[in-house]
Amino acid sequence: MPPLARPPADHKLVQILDSALVDAAKRAGPWLVCRPGCTQCCIGVFPINQLDVARLREGLSELSASDPARAVRIRERARQSLDRIAPGFPGNRKTGILTESPRAHRQFEDFANDEPCPALDPETGTCDLYAHRPMTCRTFGPPVRSDHGLGVCELCFQGATHAEIAACEMPVDPDRLEPKLLAEIKRTSGQSGRTIVAFALAHDL
């Protein structure tokens, strides 16, 4: 998977999300139990888009300069992950792009659910690329609305009522910046489609 230039406006999107997360965490208080070392959301493969890829690869590039040994460990974990999961990957094994079809979506639901994220440091239980993590990671924990309703991490909001959960909802990309940034990446690089973290991080920059 080739390098991608991260659109400058993505920094604005990240700032918006980080501010929304801080606000939601304040409203949630002790119901939100996310802490360093809790890896519930770091186990199991999930799809990421090309903006997530650009962000992750920028973070890995910066880490290669500041802590090359740690960057090498991330790439090695990514390669090992791909070796384990490649046989059942519901997409193009060369490009890493997931197939967009109902059958492929069903296959993905049961795909690599026990696979740890390559960015997860197994010794510390923390993310080595936390500042550059994908959108899914940035919105996991607080209540977030989707087509299926208001979802939360199963470890959080224990004992909270639906109204109490709804009062802590985290708005995600209210200005719809992400689709515009994805369109910019496609226009400037030709890259589109969804992949997984391991494919984004497995190869040298």
Q: Quick: pLDDT tens for 100-120.
A: 999 999 999 989 999 999 999
pLDDT of residue 4: 75
Q: How big is the chain by its Cα radius of gyration, in Å?
A: 17
Query: Any idea which residue has 């186990």 for tokens?
Result: 43
pTM of the model: 0.92
What's the pLDDT at 5?
A: 84
Residue 204's pLDDT is: 58
Which residue intervals of 40-176 are DSSP H helices? 50-66, 68-85, 102-109, 135-138, 162-166
* CA dist., res. 27 & res. 24, Å (int): 5
- Within the chain, which residues score under 70 in pLDDT? 1-3, 204-205
Beta strands in 2-135 (DSSP E): 120-121, 126-127
pLDDT given at position 147 = 79
Strands 120-121 vs 126-127: parallel, antiparallel or unpaired: antiparallel
